Amino acid sequence: MTKKILVTGGAGFLGSHLCERLVNAGEDVLCVDNFFTGSKANIAHLLNKPNFELMRHDVTFPLYVEVDQIYNLACPASPIHYQHDPVQTTKTSVHGAINMLGLAKRLKARILQASTSEVYGDPEVHPQPESYWGKVNPIGIRSCYDEGKRCAETLFFDYHRQHELEIKVVRIFNTYGPKMHPNDGRVVSNFIVQALKGQDITIYGDGSQTRSFCYVDDLIEAMVRMMNADKEFTGPVNIGNPNEFTMLELASHIIELTHSGSKIIHLPLPQDDPKQRKPNIELAKSALNWEPKTQLDEGLKSTIEYFKNYGI
């Protein structure tokens, strides 16, 4: 039977891919977004579909709609965006979670939270399993995002314990792909745009810090599997690609794939920038029968194509 599904943050990078996936599966999708970092262009191709609806709304305010499932993605994800108005970032994570959990409680709807590897902070355990509690600075410039997302997880588990709400929590590691905003400041989009424009590639610090990059299609597959998994399986579950790269390695791959003449330059490392990050995905493999399929070069090629077509 067709389900009514709410996607908050549905006009953003991940949200727009999720909406497309659900619309194509025949579900009835309600996309809610305040367009802080998302855009109508990301979902323009869905607007004429009878099973897609767009609503401008800020999740820090209550929402009254009728749905069967909720994917809660609303929150800026790139450091420059979430640090632009840090108070609003915490409000979006915390008040947004309270409002969406309240909605789910009234409707007895299942709700999935897009949490993040940032809950592990600058991790001392490597790779990071879900059982690791993290090393997070509570008062730094990344804290509005990290602590906001940690508090949202707390709220999800308290609604689950206190109100028997059906919750699903996924901890998303760095994800990239088409529809990333060219100016959103995240490393993959920055390096590709710089390489295509022949500008200097800006590595922050010495470039030895690591990240593990997941292609968007793999991530969306895992999210949908998690939403529809057994009721008892709440997570948190790590979703990411465990192949780990230094930022220097990433820059070289992108220069090679774009045949760019760009030079690498080094800029200061931002405060509290995590030194390493790599998911342990054993739980996702066993509980969701999922693992990422797209390797970095293949994913980068389609992302580069997207930015070329975007006019970069």
Interface characters, 67-106, with ligand UDP (x: CB under 6 A): -----------xx---------------------------
Find the catalytic residue in 71, 82, 145, 215: 145
Provide the 3-class DSSP secondary structure of residue 212. Answer: strand
188 binds ligand NAD (CB under 6 A): no
Shortest Å, Cβ 71 to ligand NAD? 9
The neighbour count for residue 190, using CB atoms within 10 Å, is 23
Contacted entry of ligand UDP, ligand NAD, none for residue 165, CB cut-off 5 to 8 Å set by kind: none
Residue 114: C-alpha distances to residues 99, 130, 246, 251 (Å)? 15, 15, 25, 28
Using the contact rule CB under 6 A, the part of the chain among 136-144, 170-178, 247-255, 275-283 near ligand NAD is 170-178
Q: What is the residue whose two structure tokens read 């990239």?
A: 176
Q: Are 278 and 126 in contact (CB under 8 A)?
A: yes
Residue 203 pairs with which residues in a beta bridge?
A: 266
Contacted entry of ligand UDP, ligand NAD, none for residue 31, CB cut-off 5 to 8 Å set by kind: none
CA 71 to chain centre: 12
CB-based burial of residue 269 (10 Å sphere; 0-12 exposed, 13-18 middle, 19+ buried)? middle
Interface characters, 14-43, with ligand NAD (x: CB under 6 A): xx-----------------xxxxxx-----
Per the annotation, the verdict on 215 as an active-site residue is no
Shortest Å, Cβ 144 to ligand UDP? 13
Among 65, 68, 140, 204, binds ligand UDP (CB under 6 A): 204
Q: Indicate the helix (H) or strand (E) that contains 238.
A: strand 237-239
Using the contact rule CB under 6 A, the part of the chain among 38-46, 152-160, 185-193, 295-303 near ligand UDP is 185-193
CB burial of 20-45 (b: ≥16 within 10 Å; e: otherwise) equals bbbbeeebbbbbbbbebbbeeebbee
247 binds ligand UDP (CB under 6 A): yes
Nearer CB in complex with ligand UDP: 157/245: 245
Provide the 3-class DSSP secondary structure of residue 110. Answer: strand
Among 209, 238, 241, 258, binds ligand UDP (CB under 6 A): 209
Interface characters, 112-141, with ligand UDP (x: CB under 6 A): ------------------------------
84 binds ligand NAD (CB under 6 A): no
Tokens of 183: 């100016």
The DSSP call for residue 228 is T
Q: Which amino acid is at 253?
A: H
Q: Are 262 and 198 in contact (CB under 8 A)?
A: yes
Residue 267 pairs with which residues in a beta bridge?
A: 204
Annotated catalytic residues are 145
Provide the binding-site residues for ligand NAD, judged by CB under 6 A. Answer: 8-9, 11-15, 33-38, 58-60, 73-77, 92, 96, 114, 116, 172, 174-175
Q: Which residues bind to ligand UDP, rule: CB under 6 A?
A: 78-79, 174, 186-187, 190, 202-204, 209, 211, 247, 270, 273
